[in-house]
Structure formats: structure tokens, C-alpha cells
A and B are shown apart, each in its own frame.
Chain A
Amino acid sequence: MKTSSRRAPANAIDIVRELRAASSFRAPASLLPEVLRRVGLADLYWKLESPVGPVYVAASRAGISMVSRARSAEEFERRFESQRGRPISPATSRPPAAVRALMKNLKCRDREKLQFDLRGLSEFERAVLMKALEIPGGEIRPYSWIAREIGHPEAVRAVGTALGKNPVPLLIPCHRVVRADGTLGKYSMGGSRIKRALLEVEEVDPATIEKLASRGIRYLGNEERRYYCYPTCGGTRSLVLSNKIPFHNEKEALAAGYRPCKACRPAA
């Protein structure tokens, strides 16, 4: 065979050897997190300003999966991965508009647009959190209200525990759930002082609630329409004590001919 090259003509064995030796490529580092994110197995996170200072907010395809205060992104990532056992990476996109709006103003109504990824929680815990989500900004409810509303009236302490484990505080407003005796109770995201500050931001007046509670007053009745409510029902604007009838308990209100309010449902 005539060839103008001085090198020997290529033979099949050399070609196969060269093909086998062709280096394989390393997948880019972005591939795994991106795949996991797309199938809903990984989460992304943002750092945002909130009423309690900077917080990290994580989300999977299913929804918001964690809200947490941390000293650094690394600390947050470690916490997330050890608690959830799945990878997380910083988001490059902007956080969902509803999250941004809520972190600026916890009372805004964008909460309804949010979805939450509460995998790993029990059915009871999820029920507690979803119920807490219904409490409007500017209002508070006792732990016993959640217990009754989700059909476990005896499980008041368990409600407290479930709220203490809320993986998405602020966005699911567990700070709006307080003790029936008028004290604010615990708060997982920095204690009762922070809880009080959050309620003040939301224009709940904890001092007034405490004053009522110290006199044993749990409900206020609307004399004209003959129904009774939790003191914060309808927001603080209706918390005008002068034209309200105070009640110490349900029985007292019923005996006076008052029915429970349909909005805040102080009784079944």
C-alpha cells in the first residue's frame, strides 16, 4: 500500500487501544445537586433579612423545607444536611416572591401562596403546623385551640412540642400560638423575648392580652351581636375593651346567651 506518510498506516489494534485510552470526563460538580433538585430530592437556600435578623430559607421542589438562623452559610448547610440527610446548595435565583414579601411583612397575605415540604414530620405534626398557618396576622390562639381544631383536644402538650419542632418558623407562624393563661410560652427561634417582639411587630398587644389574662379573662363578647371571641379576633383594631363583655370561660359566655364566633372559633 502506497502512502506518503513516513508513519506506519493506522491499524485496527492501535485504533482500539487509542479509543480505550481516550480519557473519560468528570461530570461537572453542578450535575448532582441539579439532578436532585429537579427530582425533588435536593434543596436550595437563600439568605434573607427577617424581623428576627438574617435567616436562611431552604426549599425543595415540594416547597419551603427549612427556615433557620445560623452564624454562617456553612453552619446552615451542615445543620440542614445532618437533619435532613439530603444535599443542599445555595440558590442562584431569587427567593420566591411570597417568601420575600413575608420576610418584609409577616402579616402579608402571601402566605397562602407558599407550599411547604414537611417530609419527615408525623401526620400529627403536619396537622398542627397547617392549623397554625390559618391564624391570621395580628391574632393569637392558645395551644388548646389547635389541639381541638385538629381533633385531638387532649393533646395540648403534644401541640406545643410539634410547634417547637416547626422547621419553617416565621413562614408557618407558630409564634402566634400562646398559652391559655395569657403568657406567651416558648419559642424555638430565640425564646419568648423574640416571640413577644414578633407579636409586637404584628401589632398584637401582648401587654393588653396579659392584663386580661391576669384577671382570668379569656374571651370578649360582642354585646350587640351576641357572640364571643378570642381577644385578638379580627386584629387589634377590634380589641377595644370599652364595648366588650369579658368572659372567664366558655360556660359563662354560653350562660349569658353568647355563641362562639365563627371566625376565631373559641369553641367547637
Chain B
Amino acid sequence: MVHPDALEGALARDLDGSFERLVLEYQDRLYSFALRLSGNPADAEEIAQDAFVRAYRAMKTYPKERIRALSLKAWLYRITLNVARNRMRGKRHAHASLDERDGEGRARFDPEDDPRSRPDAVLEEGRRRADIATLVEGLPSRYRSALILRYMEGLRLEEVARVLGQPLGTVKSNVHRAVNALREALSASRRAAARPEVI
């Protein structure tokens, strides 16, 4: 175990008594991660909820030793990723663009002064927006998860590898390729933004 954490021990001793602490400690992380994966606050909340519920039920069946030995952070991200993938498999609008969100979702996701919600900006096409989060959403999924986990969620490469169940080398190269792909996309969108409007 790289990061010894008292929480694993507490969960092993008294799951019901410590579970609330686990949710409080990880809810912002898992919700953020789910939101970046799904692009939709309502989905994100359900994904995060399902992930915590699954984690609880799994730990209910685990012997104490197994709970104590968990790499909790990576394990929780992994569950969240699986829940999100399962949900999106059945969904057409897995990566709905920001413009397609409903009013309620938008309110929670976008601050009111977000330039994207100004009428002129909303009319712009996605490819012309140099918004990095939107570009991340457009990445192929094998790059996207690695990139989000590594930089937006701040996991170490070893943790990302554990979450994704991939060799470290694969993760390294996927993160690298993701950054390259973003750079390409960003340059392209800036070039497009600099061109005068042609109708």
C-alpha cells in the first residue's frame, strides 16, 4: 500500500460507522470525475451515487483484511468508471455537448457568467470553442479517461494504471497521446476562431 490511510482501517473495523466519512471524503472527487465522463450533472450524480452504493455493498461482503488492504482511491475511481461505462453503453447521448443540457443541469455545471452561455457564444459550433473541457469530451475514450484521471483528478500514473487496469506503459503513452491530440484540437479550433465568419 502506497498511501496508508486511517479510513481503510476504520472501514474494516466498522463499515456502517465509517461509511459516511468515506462518502464525505470522496464525494466531490467522484462526482467531478463522473461529470467529466458523462458531461451531464444529473447523470453524474447518479453515477457517483451508484458507485458509492456498489462500494458499500462490495465492502459488506469483503473480509476485514481485504478492506484494510484496499487502495481506496484507485478502487473508488475504478468503480465509478465502470458504472459510467455501463450507463453510457446503453445511452446514445453519452457525451452530449454543453449546449444540449437542460436548464437545471446547466445551472449547476456552468457558472452564470460563463461566456459559453452568452447568446453569441452559444451559437458557435463546438469545434470553434477553445474550451479545453469540451475538447477533452471529444477525445477517444481510451485517451480521455487516462487524461482526466492523470491531470484533472490529479492521480499518480500508478494509480491511473490501477484504475484503468492497464500496464503503466500503456497509461503513459495514452496520456501522452491525449495531450498531443488536445494540442492538435486546440490549434485547429484557434485557427478556426481566427478565420472570419463565412455563411
Contacts and interface: CB of A to CB of B under 8 A. Distances in A.
B151 interface: yes
Interface in A1-37: 3-7, 9-12, 15-16, 18-20, 22, 24-28, 30-32, 34-36
A38 B194 contact: no
A34 B49 contact: yes
A28 B151 CA distance: 23
A249 B89 CA distance: 73
Contacts of A6: 194
A39 interface: yes
Contact of B29 (A19, A24, A36): A24
Contacts of A86: 20
A87 B132 contact: no
A24 B19 contact: no
A47 B9 CA distance: 39
A149 to B, nearest CB: 32
Contacts of B52: 35, 39
Contacts, number: 100
Interface in A26-56: 26-28, 30-32, 34-36, 38-39, 41
B75 interface: no
Given A5-B191, A22-B132, A27-B31, A32 B151 contact: no
B187 A3 contact: yes
By size class, the interface of chain A is: 20 to 34
Contacts of A30: 45
Contacts of B123: none
Contacts of B44: 25
A94 B56 CA distance: 27
A15 B20 contact: no
Contact of B53 (A5, A9, A19, A35): A35
B35 A25 contact: yes
Given A19-B151, A32-B24, A39 B179 contact: no
Q: Return the 7 tightest CB-CB contacts between A and B, nearest first.
A: A27-B31, A19-B151, A27-B27, A10-B186, A24-B32, A5-B194, A35-B52
Interface of B: 16, 19-20, 23-24, 27-32, 35, 41, 44-45, 48-49, 52-53, 56-57, 108-109, 132-133, 136, 147, 151-154, 179-180, 182-183, 186-187, 190-191, 193-195
Interface of A: 3-7, 9-12, 15-16, 18-20, 22, 24-28, 30-32, 34-36, 38-39, 41, 86-87
